[in-house]
Structure 1
Amino acid sequence: ESVTSGMLGPLEVDWANRAEDAQGKTSPEELIAAAHAACFAMALSNGLAQEGHAPERLETSATVTFVPGTGITKSALTVTGTVPGLDEDAFRQAAEQAKENCPVSSALKGNVELELYARLT
């Protein structure tokens, strides 16, 4: 089986990718993680810029947890950033707001635990 996107070529998916060795294939959970990380990063970057603190660099990842028989249980976002003029607390608050309000988080809220790890570099 495969899925396609306007930006990505065909991606092979199958059940083994969820619980076994992916062998160069992907899973729906990996695609959700990529979407969540991208959406969150865009929301955080935009929010910081609107407050006058455009980031020099944001490095973001998301890890989605899949439990067989239960489904997706968690999406954990991790972000490290270089943001001139911003202290650690303000960065964490901005990251928390982006986590709560990005469209992918909104779609997951109430169904999946959302975690956030944010720090300045």
Structure 2
Amino acid sequence: MSREPEWDDAQRDALLGLQIYESQLCRCGVHSTLTHDPEQRFPLDSDTCPVCAGLARYDRILRDGDEQHLQRMGSNPPPGMPRPSDGRHVYVHHEPPADRPVPPVQLQT
């Protein structure tokens, strides 16, 4: 009994091509053929997300509390001693107003 291979040649070639392409991306997400072309322009822009801003503030508050806790533990607490941050995951719950439905997501093109 023979089995069909999971990937055919075209799929393997496409995945290898994607791997090569992704290996040539800069950490900014732009491909090196564009970043090294002096005729290309990349105007910078920024945006502030109120949720991300709230998460950043909350993270600072938690880290400050963690530092205060470590100071109370002494100058050289054992590495195995539990810390408040052990296993902590911070996440956001979306609670829309009860009288307004969640608007549809607008995809930017």
Q: TM-score, normalised by structure 1?
A: 0.31
Structure number with higher relative contact order (C-alpha < 8 Å, ≥ 6 residues apart) = 1
Q: Rg larger in 1 or in 2?
A: 2
Structure with more strand by fraction: 1
